[in-house]
Amino acid sequence: MSEAKAGVITPEVLVRDRAFLIIDKPAGLPVHPGRAGGPSVESFFQRWRKGRQGPWLAHRLDQDTSGCLVIALKKDFLLQAQALFAAGEVEKTYWAVVRGVPGEASGVIDANLAKHTQGRAWKMAPDPAGQTAVTEWRVLGMSGDIALVEFHPKTGRTHQIRAHAALLGHPIIGDAVYGGGEGAMQLLARSIALASTPPASATASVPAHMRANVEACIGAV
């Protein structure tokens, strides 16, 4: 489809450059159209297009994750961005509201991940034979039995932060796959920075479905 259906929120453009956009992807909006159709980030490509080709997704976010998503408008920028992501040279910061409060203020999770399938369901699970996955984390604040944790993934594995948060013993609230219960998943791609030409960086606002818990943990944002 060339345009999103009526009633779908158009993603906010955080940064606009001739070579790229950084948008604030709403939670619940997939980056690609699913088998059943429906709107996705790609539904907005026509209105963002510059020239005859593109845009292109420079990377991915899970459907239920909100926040910073880089979209290339020029092929040379796309190639730069892909190389930086592949080399682990993109600075990515995520905020997550998790169940429970970690016993330490910060740490590093170094646990290989592999896709495990059971019936039609699948998830990423710790597996020595899996792909290397490293995530730095620190607690930003807490309130009762929840905490706001900042994650810095050093690798880019599928569901890495979600799986590592669960391995830490504190799954992300709303992440039904990894034990965080029901409701909207409280995971935000808070900021991103690429040392590309031109440089690309942005910070996303805390979405409405996370705001009450985030403010309970650290105050007004």
**Is residue 2 a part of any domain in this protein?**
no
The single residue of 17, 24, 62, 175 carrying the catalytic annotation is 62
**Is residue 38 a part of any domain in this protein?**
yes
Contacts of 19 (CB under 8 A, 6+ apart): 72, 73, 74, 76, 77, 198
- Count of domains forming the chain: 1
pLDDT at residue 34 greater than cutoff 60: yes
For residue 104, give the CATH number of its domain.
Answer: 3.30.2350.10
**Is residue 153 a part of any domain in this protein?**
yes
- pTM, 2 dp: 0.93
**Is residue 7 a part of any domain in this protein?**
no
What is the residue range of 176's domain?
12-218
Query: Cα–Cα distance between 79 and 186 in angstroms, integer?
Result: 31
Tell me, what's the pLDDT at 118?
A: 87
Residue scoring higher pLDDT (50 or 128): 128
Tokens of 45: 């490509």
**Is residue 122 a part of any domain in this protein?**
yes
pLDDT at residue 10 greater than cutoff 80: yes
pLDDT at residue 9 greater than cutoff 90: no
**Residue 145: CB atoms within 10 Å:** 9
Tell me, what's the pLDDT at 6?
A: 45
Q: What is the mean pLDDT of the chain?
A: 94
Closest C-alpha to 160, from 211, 72, 96: 96
pLDDT at residue 148 greater than cutoff 60: yes
Tokens of 78: 């796309």
Contacts of 146 (CB under 8 A, 6+ apart): 97, 98, 99, 100, 101, 173, 213, 216, 217
Q: What is the pLDDT of residues 56-108, one digit of tens each?
A: 999 999 999 999 999 999 999 999 999 999 999 999 999 999 999 999 999 99
Query: Cα–Cα distance between 146 and 214 in angstroms, integer?
Result: 10
**Is residue 212 a part of any domain in this protein?**
yes
**Is residue 152 a part of any domain in this protein?**
yes
pLDDT at residue 26 greater than cutoff 80: yes
Q: 3-class SS at 43?
A: helix
Count Cβ atoms within 10 A of the Cβ of residue 197 and give its class: 0-12 exposed, 13-18 middle, 19 or more buried.
Answer: exposed
**Is residue 105 a part of any domain in this protein?**
yes
Tell me, what's the pLDDT at 3?
A: 46
Query: Cα–Cα distance between 132 and 112 in angstroms, integer?
Result: 4
Is 62 one of the annotated active-site residues of the chain?
A: yes
> What HEC string does 140-193 produce?
EEEECCEEEEEEEECCCCCCHHHHHHHHHCCCECCCCCCCCCCCCCCEEEEEEE
Q: What is the pLDDT of residues 175-202, one digit of tens each?
A: 999 998 889 999 999 999 999 999 999 9
Tell me, what's the pLDDT at 7?
A: 56
